Amino acid sequence: MNLVKPQTIAGVMELLPEKQIQFNYVLNTIERCFKQYGFLPIDTPLIEKDDILFAKGGGETEKQIFKIQSESKDMSLRYDLTVPLARYTAEHFQDLSFPFKRYQIGKVYRGERNQKGRYKEFYQCDIDIIGNGSLSIFNDAQLPAVIYEIFSQLNLKDVLFQINNRKLLNGYFKYLDIKDSEVLLRTIDKMKKIGMSKTEELLFSDIKDSEKVSKIIEFISSDELNEQKIKNLEKDDFNNIYSEGIQELKNVYEYMKLFNIPDENIKIDLSITRGLDYYTSTVYETFIKGYESIGSVSSGGRYENLTENFSKQKLPGVGMSIGLTRLFYQLDNLGLTKDYNAGRIDYLVIPMHKQFNEKALEVYNSLKNYKSCDIFLEDCKIKKKFNYADKINVKECIIIGEEEVLNGKVTVKDMKTGEQKLIELSCLI
Amino acid sequence: MNLVKPQTIAGVMELLPEKQIQFNYVLNTIERCFKQYGFLPIDTPLIEKDDILFAKGGGETEKQIFKIQSESKDMSLRYDLTVPLARYTAEHFQDLSFPFKRYQIGKVYRGERNQKGRYKEFYQCDIDIIGNGSLSIFNDAQLPAVIYEIFSQLNLKDVLFQINNRKLLNGYFKYLDIKDSEVLLRTIDKMKKIGMSKTEELLFSDIKDSEKVSKIIEFISSDELNEQKIKNLEKDDFNNIYSEGIQELKNVYEYMKLFNIPDENIKIDLSITRGLDYYTSTVYETFIKGYESIGSVSSGGRYENLTENFSKQKLPGVGMSIGLTRLFYQLDNLGLTKDYNAGRIDYLVIPMHKQFNEKALEVYNSLKNYKSCDIFLEDCKIKKKFNYADKINVKECIIIGEEEVLNGKVTVKDMKTGEQKLIELSCLI
């Protein structure tokens, strides 16, 4: 028979069980925190109709899409969890309670070019809070609190939330009499990558006015401490949109602290804009101090109307997202995932010979309700049995042989130290 | 703007959050049991190359596949978790420890006709144990023990494992001098659905020998108790394959009991064959007593060589699978999912007015490390706040108003009884 070469498609992350346990540890930590903060789960299909996915217009996204071959219907794999959330919220509007706090963790698909740390299939972990008609600004402070809790539980407490409010920038651009502020926001979004002088160049080619460019650069680069920065911003009263921006940003900042995020983990940074059009006020990015090279580990912001393409209701919302697959790749590369090992089993019960299988099963049955454990019933040399125990990285082996059966005891072998002791079974439980 | 009608593609299950919590409860129970029994997680991509998916030949499966549109490569969505497991095991063979016990829970895709309780996208929850060269028959007994544990934890302890061994039937057919036993196994597989007399008809059209048909019907319909059935089967010694079948079936049956499955939950049933070609000895189906109409809730069996299309190694294995989406649909229809509500939050902290937001956050912060809780910061009428609490089905509300702030206490309202009491915060923790 001709053998087929066993390999995954290109550009996907597939892990060995040992790494998968670490990956799942991160995923479970994220989900636990989402739930703990009162977010409700949803699980939408991976395939959506194209008219849903591209309701906003295709553009760049459409080029990256995985389309399903089908004679009668146009459908594709989802490329994010936000469009499905919008469709879900509009479809089930009558049955949902608002504010609708939902989380979703799932795979999404983008035909990115093959590149290290970039994946065609990757997990997104999203939380969003959707209001019906209106949504208080305090929700914008709870989302970072959830993200802070997650990274604390992953022993990465040293995160830095960079927050901003687009209204503030839009108000300032309006004051400078600049019309197309979306273009400028996208240019400024690149600053951390391309540097200040390149940004200045691009801004100049956007608006052709070096005086205004200088003012913008000065405005977005101010680096006072948070409290001082707000005080300075409050001194000006350019227009309504600007004032709204200040007030919202101040509220988010103060409530983040009330949600127990330390001040040193927050940075009001007016150069944070997020490239995406649909954010309208609060925007966030999150970095891990000392590991800024990873990039933002969680981003998001507030949008004015989630379901504008699907319904007449006005449903403002705010969301944050963790790109889990890329995050895990980076943390793993930095050697930071070593402690994420919950899920290994405590005991492996090993009969020395198959004649002790029954006794071993008895011991196994009495243990398994108290401890995570397994039993090894393959008929092979004892050395092979311990090799297996080593490989699956079990903590202790419970050995059942003649002596153990006669004395009604068990031998416990610590697989790290190699130490063995004969003890009463009841002492184990 | 033209609105797009928000709807999922046809034939998928999408749940409201309340039901999703119940669904996740079942999923988490399954995963917890898999882990507890020492199975390791893997997570393969949803997209596989077509030459992998159809290495065994396409046939009926290929017609149901969701193909990805692509210029250069042929790839599709997986239709089960077994082919990806085979590919995974062959691809990572050098890095795995055998016996390789893996679990995988994930969505698979089949273009089934739209029909109630049948889904195009559905979750499979699979456990398999793969040996390198050989694999002891005792593993065939551990799998039902895991499944038994799962259904016990779902309060569905009254399961019935119907077990059989294909070698037994193949040996018996050989003794009757029947060549193509695969055809007969597939016919017998239908018996529970089509009834005895229709099965007799089909068997006759398969082998054109009414005497042999009668013998087969008699052989597969015997309904003694398990112990007696084995004794009767052991009386005959038709050929080696038959004797092997008996010995294996007996071992699996006895070890299932040693794994603490009560005898009344096991039925040796010689009419269980499973339709699929690749099973070679042990086969199982699992029913819930009193709810047999649901169909088998977990099926599986042993196969001789998992990776035959991908490698020269001989890797025998045994597996069982739960079709979670269909199972949940059935349990929900029968009203059996009502108690699967873990995941609701305990407390909702409600400030009576926004001036108490800070105090409410203080209370919330001190509670949230001990209890699952949320805080409601929308600025709206108090009635609307309690409506929300009702809808998200929280157990108790913690109310913070003037009185509470003055006295340093909190009001706790039981949302079921409506009872309110003013207590010290410390009493809650």
pLDDT band of residue B182 (cuts 50, 70, 90) is confident
Write down the mean pLDDT value for chain A: 92
Mean pLDDT of A206-213: 92
8 A C-beta contact, residue B102 and residue B305: no
Of A3, A35, A378, the CB nearest to B309: A3
Percentage of chain A beyond pLDDT 90 is 76
Mean pLDDT of B165-192: 91
Distance in angstroms (rounded) separating the CA atoms of residues A191 and A206: 14
Nearest CA in chain A to B98: A388
Which among B130, B158, B124 has a CA at the least distance from the CA of B143?
B130
Which among B203, B172, B201 has a CA at the least distance from the CA of B186?
B203
CA distances from A369 to A359, B33, B77, B153 (A): 17, 11, 38, 12
Mean pLDDT of B210-226: 92
**Amino acid at position B269, single letter:** D
Mean pLDDT of B313-342: 93
User: Dihedral, CA atoms, A352, B303, B320, B172, nearest 10 degrees?
Assistant: -100
Of B23, B46, B95, the CB nearest to A46: B46
* A318: chain B residues, CB-CB within 8 Å: none
Q: Which residue has the higher pLDDT, A30 or A196?
A: A30
Whether residue A16 has pLDDT greater than 90:
yes
Whether residue A65 has pLDDT greater than 80:
yes
pLDDT band of residue B193 (cuts 50, 70, 90) is confident
Residues B117-132 as b/e (b if ≥16 CB within 10 A, e otherwise) read eebbbbbbbbbbbbbb
Q: Which residue intervals of A139-272 are DSSP H helices? A: 139-153, 166-175, 181-189, 191-194, 196-207, 210-221, 226-235, 240-258
**What integer pLDDT is reported at residue A58 of this predicted model?**
63
Read off the pLDDT of residues A71-100 as tens digits, 9 standing for 90 and up. 777 999 999 999 999 999 999 999 999 999
Mean pLDDT of B26-31: 97
Q: Which residue has the higher pLDDT, A103 or A402?
A: A103
**What integer pLDDT is reported at residue B342 of this predicted model?**
64
Read off the pLDDT of residues A136-156 as tens digits, 9 standing for 90 and up. 999 999 999 999 999 999 999
CA atoms within 13 A on the CB side of B209: 10
Of A69, A308, A378, the CB nearest to B99: A378
CB contact under 8 A, B49 and A9: yes
Q: How far is B242 from chain A (nearest CA, A)?
A: 23
CB atoms within 10 A of CB A205: 10
Of B9, B75, B88, the CB nearest to A75: B9
Distance in angstroms (rounded) separating the CA atoms of residues A240 and A244: 6
What stretches of A230-346 adopt beta strand conformation (E)? 266-268, 279-288, 299-303, 317-323
Tokens 């060269």 identify what position? B133
Which among B4, B215, B280, B9 has a CA at the least distance from the CA of B121?
B9
Give the A:B interface size as CB pairs under 8 Å. 233
pLDDT band of residue A275 (cuts 50, 70, 90) is confident
Supply the ipTM of this predicted assembly. Answer: 0.93
Which among A25, A37, A154 has a CA at the least distance from the CA of B371?
A37
E strand or H helix that includes residue B414: strand B409-414
DSSP A118: B
Chain B touched by A238 (CB under 8 Å): no
Tokens 């077994």 identify what position? B82
CB contact under 8 A, B310 and A358: no
**Amino acid at position A52, single letter:** I
Q: Which of B1, B2, B5, B379 to mutate to test the interface with A (most CBs of A within 10 A)?
A: B5
Read off the pLDDT of residues A27-62 as tens digits, 9 standing for 90 and up. 999 999 999 888 999 999 999 999 999 988 766 777
Read off the pLDDT of residues B114-160 as tens digits, 9 standing for 90 and up. 677 789 999 999 999 999 999 999 999 999 999 999 999 999 989 99
Lowest mean pLDDT among A196-210, A313-327, B251-265: A196-210
List all residues 6 or more positions away from A136 whose beta carbon is below 8 Å from its beta carbon: B377, B378, B379
Read off the pLDDT of residues A162-193 as tens digits, 9 standing for 90 and up. 999 999 999 999 999 998 888 899 999 888 88
pLDDT band of residue A343 (cuts 50, 70, 90) is low
Which among A164, A55, A63 has a CA at the least distance from the CA of A109?
A63
pLDDT band of residue B372 (cuts 50, 70, 90) is confident
CA angle A153, A155, A157 (to 5 degrees): 90
> Mapping DSSP to helix (H, G, I), strand (E, B) and coil, where does residue B281 land?
strand
CA atoms within 13 A on the CB side of B8: 18
Q: Which residue has the higher pLDDT, B114 or A3?
A: A3
Of B20, B52, B73, the CB nearest to A41: B20
8 A C-beta contact, residue A147 and residue A159: yes
Mean pLDDT of A233-254: 95
Taking a contact as any Cβ pair under 8 Å apart, which residues of chain A between 312 and 351 contact chain B? 312, 343, 345, 348
Read off the pLDDT of residues A361-389 as tens digits, 9 standing for 90 and up. 999 999 888 888 899 999 999 999 999 99
pLDDT band of residue B63 (cuts 50, 70, 90) is confident
Which among B170, B234, B176, B221 has a CA at the least distance from the CA of B195?
B221
Q: How far is B309 from chain A (nearest CA, A)?
A: 5
Q: How far is A106 from chain B (nearest CA, A)?
A: 10
CB contact under 8 A, A6 and B374: no
CA angle B63, B69, B72 (to 5 degrees): 115
pTM of the model: 0.94
CA distances from B213 to A4, B177, B206, B209, B221 (A): 41, 12, 9, 6, 12
**Amino acid at position A149, single letter:** E
**What integer pLDDT is reported at residue A79 of this predicted model?**
94
Whether residue A342 has pLDDT greater than 80:
no
> Which pair of structure tokens corresponds to residue B87?
């590919």
- In the sheet where A121-130 sits, what is the strand order? A40-41, A100-109, A121-130, A317-323, A299-303, A279-288, A159-165, A266-268
**What integer pLDDT is reported at residue B70 of this predicted model?**
79
CB contact under 8 A, B38 and A102: no
CB contact under 8 A, B95 and A20: no
CB contact under 8 A, A68 and B73: no
DSSP B337: -
Whether residue A314 has pLDDT greater than 90:
yes
E strand or H helix that includes residue B276: none
Q: Which residue intervals of A279-367 are DSSP H helices? A: 324-333, 357-367
**What integer pLDDT is reported at residue B428 of this predicted model?**
78
Instruction: Report chain B's terminal Cα–Cα distance, integer Å.
Output: 52
**What integer pLDDT is reported at residue A293 of this predicted model?**
86
Taking a contact as any Cβ pair under 8 Å apart, which residues of chain A between 150 and 209 contact chain B? none
